[in-house]
Amino acid sequence: MSDPRVTLPGLLAMKARREKITCLTAYDATFAQAVDAAEIDMLLVGDSLGMVIQGSATTLSVTIDDVVYHTRCVASAVNRSFVLADLPFMSCPTPAEAAENAARLMRAGAHAVKIEGAGPQIQITRFLSERHVPVCGHLGLLPQAVHKLGGYRVQGRDAASAQQLLTDAEALVAAGATLLVLECIPAELAAEVTARVPVPTIGIGAGPACDGQVLVLHDMLGLTRKQPGFSRNFLDGASSIQDALVRYRDAVRAGTFPAPPEGAGHP
């Protein structure tokens, strides 16, 4: 018998038991069904679809309509996995607009929404969580801020920025965030955040100490033209795509992914 549907309380229990959480992006029903069948705990309908589906250079072209559409496609095929959907660039400039767009995503089948950054997003996180919308924070490298950051670069390298990230993580959780994605930060910093906050941390290019790991599906299948240094091609040596998904799941659960060379950093 397959495992029951993954829920937020279940993810919190996994952190408490120190069981690694697995997550992959998904954008359509066919791949969502495959990822769900591999018993991946979470599916992220990410605004990364702008790059891997739409062919854009960044995620900034993705609209809320795009994410609603892809969330509906993914949710239609899922029986077990927890579905997390991105609030894309400028879809949550105010609490009221954030609430409207979060409601659209949840009506399309998302179980939680993800918001990049802190600052004003802390107020938005509180506003949504008080209205029963589960919120996942996202700290470190913020793809929606790529032009402000000057590119896809590791964040939190110096003492001041590392302290700010720790402060932001605790503030988001205090505001009601129930998950945190940590992207492209030093492994030591990710480990400290993970130890300090009571909610699960999901790392991407943030080392092995996070409570879970997420990769872009197309990266872990070796389909992207320039694979990030923190990723791994799980299709290499696998007998099928389904086998590659299972290999990813097992590597995260066993703690063999990410390995030391697969640390923080973007190409």
* pLDDT tier at 233, thresholds 50, 70, 90: very high
62-72 burial, b at 16+ Cβ within 10 Å, e below that, comes to bebebbbebbb
* pLDDT tier at 161, thresholds 50, 70, 90: very high
Report if residue 115 sits inside a domain: yes
Longest dimension (CA), the chain: 49
Percent of the chain with pLDDT over 90: 92
Domain that holds residue 131: 8-253
Count of structural domains within the chain: 1
Q: How high is the pLDDT of residue 264?
A: 61
- DSSP structure string for 120-179: HHHHHHHHHHTTT--EEEEEES-GGGHHHHTSS-----SHHHHHHHHHHHHHHHHTT--E
Report if residue 265 sits inside a domain: no
Q: How high is the pLDDT of residue 163?
A: 98
Catalytic (active-site) positions: 183
* pLDDT tier at 227, thresholds 50, 70, 90: confident
Q: How high is the pLDDT of residue 72?
A: 98
Report if residue 166 sits inside a domain: yes
* pLDDT tier at 4, thresholds 50, 70, 90: confident
* pLDDT tier at 267, thresholds 50, 70, 90: very low
Report if residue 243 sits inside a domain: yes
Q: How high is the pLDDT of residue 103?
A: 98
Report if residue 259 sits inside a domain: no
pLDDT tens readout for residues 109-158: 999 999 999 999 999 999 999 999 999 999 999 999 999 988 888 999 99
For CA atoms 68, 211, 248, 218, the dihedral sign is: positive
- CB 165 within 8 Å of CB 176: no
Q: How high is the pLDDT of residue 225?
A: 86
Q: How high is the pLDDT of residue 80?
A: 97
Q: How high is the pLDDT of residue 3?
A: 53
> Is residue 261 helix, strand or coil?
coil
pLDDT tens readout for residues 55-74: 999 999 999 999 999 999 99
Q: How high is the pLDDT of residue 266?
A: 41
pLDDT tens readout for residues 79-116: 999 999 999 999 999 999 999 999 999 999 999 999 99
- What CATH number does residue 230 fall under? 3.20.20.60
Report if residue 264 sits inside a domain: no
Residue 48: what are its φ and ψ, rounded to 5°? -60, -15
Of 243, 208, 226, which Cα lies nearest the Cα of 234? 243
Report if residue 262 sits inside a domain: no
Percent of the chain with pLDDT over 70: 97
Of 160, 207, 163, 146, which Cα lies nearest the Cα of 182? 207
Alpha helices in 38-154 (DSSP H): 49-52, 64-75, 95-107, 120-129, 146-149
Report if residue 267 sits inside a domain: no
